[in-house]
Chains A and B, each alone.
Chain A
Amino acid sequence: MAALPPSPARSVCQTAALTKFYGKQRGVLDLTLEVRQGEIFGYLGPNGAGKTTTIRLLLDFIRPSGGRATLWGLDAHRESQAIRRRVGYLPGELALYDRLTGQELLRYLANLRGGVTWSYVEALARRLECDLSRPIRTLSRGNKQKLGLLQALMHRPELLILDEPTSGLDPLMQQEFYRLLAEVRAEGRTVFLSSHNLPEVERICDRVGIIREGRLIAVEEVAALKARALRRLELHFAAPVPEAAFARLEGVRDVRVEGTTLHCTISGRVDAVIKAAAQFEVVNIVSHEPGLEEIFLAYYTPEKVSGEP
Chain B
Amino acid sequence: MLRTVMLKTLRDHWRALLWWAVGLVGLAVYLVLLYPGIRDTPGYNELLNAMPEALLKTMVGEYPDFASPTGYLNSSLFFMAAPLLFIIFTLTFDGGMIAGEEERGTLELLLAYPLPRWRVVLEKFAALTLTTVALAAVFWLSLVVGMPLVEMEVSPGKVGAVMVNLALLGLLFGALTLALGCATGKQGLSAGVSATLAVAAYFINSLAPVVEALEPYRRFSPFYHYIGRDPLVNGLDLGNVAVLLGLTGVCLVAALLAFERRDLAV
Contacts and interface: CB of A to CB of B under 8 A. Distances in A.
Interface of A: 22, 52, 56, 59, 61-63, 81-82, 84-85, 87, 89, 91, 93-97, 99-100, 104, 107-109, 111-113, 151
Interface string B235-264: 000000000000000000000000001011
A91 B109 contact: yes
Contacts of A111: 2-4
A151 B264 CA distance: 21
Contacts of B116: 81
6 contacts: A22-B263, A61-B108, A62-B263, A91-B112, A95-B108, A112-B115
Contacts of A81: 114-116
A84 B8 contact: no
Given A22-B263, A99-B12, 9 more contacts: A61-B111, A62-B263, A84-B113, A94-B109, A95-B108, A96-B106, A108-B8, A109-B109, A112-B4
A112 B112 CA distance: 11
A112 B104 contact: no
A129 B115 CA distance: 30
B183 to A, nearest CB: 15
A291 B114 CA distance: 38
B12 A59 contact: no
Contacts of A61: 108, 111, 263-264
A62 B8 CA distance: 25
A94 B109 CA distance: 8
B112 A97 contact: no
A26 to B, nearest CB: 13
A149 to B, nearest CB: 12
B184 to A, nearest CB: 15
A245 to B, nearest CB: 53
A87 B4 CA distance: 20
Contact of B109 (A82, A85, A87, A95): A95
A108 B12 contact: no
A56 B2 contact: no
B2 A107 contact: yes
A81 B114 CA distance: 5
B28 interface: no
Contact of B113 (A52, A62, A109): A109
B43 interface: no
A125 B264 CA distance: 30
> When A and B form their complex, which 7 residue pairs have the shortest distance between CB atoms, in order from nearest?
A95-B105, A89-B112, A108-B2, A62-B263, A85-B114, A61-B264, A84-B114
A56 B264 contact: yes
B5 interface: yes
Interface string B95-119: 0000000001110111111111000
A103 B105 CA distance: 20
Contacts of B112: 59, 84, 87, 89, 91
Contacts of B266: 22, 52, 56
B264 A62 contact: yes
A85 B114 CA distance: 5
A89 B111 CA distance: 10
Contact of B2 (A84, A87, A104, A113): A104
Contacts of B261: 63
A97 B106 contact: yes
Nearest to B15: A99
Contacts of A108: 2, 8
Contacts of A89: 109, 112
B99 to A, nearest CB: 14
Interface string B1-36: 011110010001000000000000000000000000
Contacts of B3: 111
Contacts of B108: 61, 91, 93, 95
Nearest to B106: A95
A140 B23 CA distance: 37
A138 B68 CA distance: 56
A36 to B, nearest CB: 22
Contacts of A87: 112
Highest count of chain B CB atoms <10 Å: which of A84, A94, A112, A113: A112
Contacts of B104: 95
Contacts of B113: 84, 109, 112-113
